[in-house]
Structure 1
């Protein structure tokens, strides 16, 4: 097929600047849109004439040419639709987006008053899920589309060192193999939403001082109860009472002054039950090593000879593993599939933004889905922001769509096309961000409302933060950049643990933390198998040991992932491909630059 495409281009007088890459892409286009070599070259001929291009076919033009092919599919759909006829004397008018100048005739009036242009958009969305914004012209070359390397493996864990930094080109595998794989789908994974709080449509921005107090009090009381239940610690006492003997207290790290936490003065706020909520100064001079941040709930062993200062001899900042491993998951579970569970799952994880800062073409998302089509993971996890409120075009108001329409067409449309192409063996999980312009500006954040009537049941949304299980593998995610916020506030790096998606208090200024929703949504009782925390900091995949082992028992382990951002400025970013197999030590993961 590649030879036929090459021969057809040559017969029409075209040459290539990167023959291998262009032919691979053209072969993909032919397979995806069921085109012959002559059909493809004919469309390219019209495309190049309309744009005044030379006879050299350049790889940088392939992205815009793909959109041209998608528009050709829209034309086919309109021709097949007996109720809609489009008349125009100027083909270039359609190709360049001047749809409002065309004449549209409907056979019968629409009872619901739907406009013809909306009908065109809907049919376009159902066909390919690509970009069909007719009001603006195509951009032929973008910095993202003109890059040479498509996918490059940056880092791997639990694999041979020689596979690092291997250049992986798009469509590198034989396309015939891709077709064989597509008709032989992998086993579908089971999917359970362990927790999805708060609910869509919840009431927020009504939190009170009492809500903040109750949230902090509950954090302290739950941690104290966990320490006592483990049998390793005695009942906590009031740390503000003078005592010459060693005591054990549980409280929250606080800073007496505004700004970053310093070694002095540091305060410990105990619970109302034990100290009436009083604070006491905390002296850490006797400790060789510690790592604390404001809002962290810890256990303290030490003594307070004067009643004014608690001299710490030990800080316990983790929960015993016997507690975390035996606590039950939240009782509310939403069963999505009933498939045999195997504790193994393959997934690809990516975090927004999903379009570059120079445009709203969503090119990184398109190429991520192209990669996923070849790799065929059981689960695709996409974390917001999707319609980024920090995008330059949105800030300037240079958009001609509502944010909801943009999300529906550019994101959900592409994902629907992806799952329809892949078949029933894949699922997609979406998690919003408070930076999403089309969603509630609050944290914790309800899930996107994705109506099953509009999109097939393989696309799900969870709250932010949220937890779900895939083949009994517990996955926890949060799109707030807690790693960046903690790095700015903690005294020492590498905190040892915690049972809160956002343990920092007070929160960062940009985080709209609503304490009336925080009690149920931010706490998690068990250590997840995979913890996904997207951040602007350097991407990583690490195996962490959490909790305190009892009597020589092994600590709970968790695969902690920062997938980075899929788009970084005008260029591509990073995503993570994971093959989880039983436990973090036997699993493999790769960070891939797009």
Structure 2
């Protein structure tokens, strides 16, 4: 039984509406609840507020969501207080502790999206200790300043920190999810005594990312937004063989049917709740409609999935001058896939000895929210060298999170195993993180992708310039790439983006087949059709008020990314082709999915904010073979093949 059917069974036929079901499904995903748990919470809420199931509309769901959020925050605050009380009962060295008054993402106390034992996955996952239990919470705070010194072998641990690590980090190396398990085996790994013949080549122009942020010009931003609409207008016109006279202005009253191309926007610039089909408008280009907006009437459309920032082609008419009645939504054609000749594929296969390529993908943060302890990363590096032995490691930031409670409060303290204490945030990386990363075997290629939360990055907006490898004192087997970036791993084209499009994209879903699709699949399809890594606009940046120590109120970062609008062109797919693999970390549940022959992977966070081990992704790519049928020959060309990486890859999500 699907989740939609379970919700209808629990809540009754009054919620058998695509909009209402979509809103309830979003609540289940946001707070990791199943239909039973959500219905129990609704019964409690409806009894207090004297509501009935017949009253369950979008406004009631929004208020219900607010009530659930208050419960989560109340529980988080009470747990923070209980953990402080339990830790104070035993005499220990006094450690500075971050303020736990506000739940948050990115490691500020307790996560806003709660992590619980029960999660919906394709099969039964490994059950870890509940990271929100008082035991785990207090254990995470006892080792607030335990930090590894220079190198892996010089880590010294106190008894309390060792027990805390055991409580917070169960079962490292256990597989919790697998894609293509039945088709192929896990890669064995490389021999570190031999050379690594993997070819890693960037597929982007790094010089274009060397711009200065915080200097947005309104005219430049308007030009970019307008150009996006015009580009898609030309694409739709060419694909559907539409004459230029049929592309019209939807804001002008007319009884004639036209094709309108524009950007989906909310009807209110301050809209920040659950959107619906009645609250959407279409923004035109300056050439077609002088940039005007017109409200959309989507009553005739039986199936749709839209979000703010989406570029769409609509067929319909504006008969009364008040709204544009949509009769059909035109599908945007997909990009082509990368190809290689048979001789090139054979050369790549021979270079790696016809062996399976292993790629490891991790995503920060690499410390808990209560400490700057990188010992889990140090242990992981040891496993990379001894057990995993991948050809390539792709590491996403943040490495030194600027929103970390100890950093944002200025209460970092001393690193006891360092002779010379860091004086800047950059030195925290070079003196604490760099020695750990240097221990990775020089045979293994490592790619670093920054985050907008990285304290060591010069760019705090998306798209983002690359790290300076020499400044970070990293060896030559490390490659620093931009965010987003695309690189070629032998024949495989891999794209990376460290902006959470899966969480920040606010969908409006209507229709049976569309609503039954997995949310990850729908947003992945949007990313491919919009041809850019972060299709939502405006960005999903969230801030909230917090009380400062002097009693005042300040704003702090909660989630999302700032977008440097004049440079949004850098977030589009490189080379105007679809990648074979898209690595896109998200705060949502880890996953590996094939969407329209593209492999999408979210490795999950390396360490959760409470200190519990997170996950990483391991990709095993079998070598290309012209004879085994896994490659598809391009029509009308005798020696050109599609890579079909989605057929030749196995993805394992593993506990870090």
- TM-score bracket relative to the smaller structure: 0.5 to 0.7
Change in 2 beyond 3 A, CA 1:378/1:292: same
Q: Is the 8 A contact 1:294 1:489 kept in 2?
A: no
Aligned to 1:286: 300
The normalised TM-score by structure 2 is 0.59
TM-aligned CA deviation for residue 317 of structure 1: 5.0
Q: Is the 8 A contact 1:364 1:566 kept in 2?
A: no
Q: How many Å separate the matches in 2 of 1:162 and 1:453?
A: 38
TM-aligned CA deviation for residue 431 of structure 1: 0.7
Query: Which stretch shifts more, 279-288 or 308-317?
Result: 308-317
Q: Is the 8 A contact 1:247 1:303 kept in 2?
A: yes
TM-aligned CA deviation for residue 241 of structure 1: 3.1
Q: Is the 8 A contact 1:131 1:410 kept in 2?
A: no
Q: CA RMSD in A?
A: 3.4
Change in 2 beyond 3 A, CA 1:529/1:142: farther
Aligned to 1:304: 318
Aligned to 1:389: 402
Q: How many Å separate the matches in 2 of 1:528 and 1:357?
A: 34
- Report SS of the residue matched to 2:618: strand
- Report SS of the residue matched to 1:474: strand
Asked if 1:249 corresponds to 2:266, the answer is: no
Q: How many Å separate the matches in 1 of 2:233 and 2:578?
A: 18
Question: Which structure 2 residues correspond to residues 47-62 of structure 1 after superposition, within 5 A?
Answer: none
Aligned to 1:437: 455
- Report SS of the residue matched to 2:164: coil
Change in 2 beyond 3 A, CA 1:324/1:140: same
Asked if 1:506 corresponds to 2:545, the answer is: no
Q: How many Å separate the matches in 1 of 2:308 and 2:228?
A: 13
Q: How many Å separate the matches in 2 of 1:431 and 1:253?
A: 30
Aligned to 2:566: 516
In structure 2, stretches of 5+ residues that fail to align are 1-147, 341-347, 415-421, 543-560, 623-642
Aligned to 2:602: 562
Q: Is the 8 A contact 2:586 2:604 kept in 1?
A: yes
- Report SS of the residue matched to 1:578: strand
Aligned to 2:173: 151
Greater RCO (CA < 8 Å, at least 6 residues apart): 2
Q: How many Å separate the matches in 1 of 2:429 and 2:208?
A: 20
Aligned to 2:75: none
Q: How many Å separate the matches in 2 of 1:530 and 1:434?
A: 22
Question: Which structure 2 residues correspond to residues 263-412 of structure 1 after superposition, within 5 A?
Answer: 263-318=277-332, 320-321=333-334, 323-325=335-337, 345-373=357-385, 374-399=387-412, 400=414, 401=422, 402-412=424-434
TM-aligned CA deviation for residue 536 of structure 1: 1.0
Question: Which structure 2 residues correspond to residues 468-507 of structure 1 after superposition, within 5 A?
Answer: 468-487=487-506, 493=519, 494-495=522-523, 496-497=525-526, 498-507=530-539
Aligned to 1:459: 478
In structure 1, stretches of 5+ residues that fail to align are 1-120, 165-176, 329-336, 546-556
Q: How many Å separate the matches in 1 of 2:184 and 2:171?
A: 19
Question: Which structure 2 residues correspond to residues 178-217 of structure 1 after superposition, within 5 A?
Answer: 181-184=191-194, 187-197=196-206, 202-217=211-226
Aligned to 1:115: none
Q: Which residue, out of 564, 589, 592, partners 2:651?
A: 589
The normalised TM-score by structure 1 is 0.65
Q: Is the 8 A contact 1:580 1:586 kept in 2?
A: yes
When Rg is computed on C-alpha atoms for both structures, the one with the higher figure is 1
Q: How many Å separate the matches in 1 of 2:261 and 2:154?
A: 55
TM-aligned CA deviation for residue 324 of structure 1: 3.9
Change in 2 beyond 3 A, CA 1:526/1:453: same
Aligned to 1:20: none
Q: How many Å separate the matches in 1 of 2:491 and 2:452?
A: 29
Q: How many Å separate the matches in 2 of 1:505 and 1:355?
A: 31
- Report SS of the residue matched to 1:218: helix
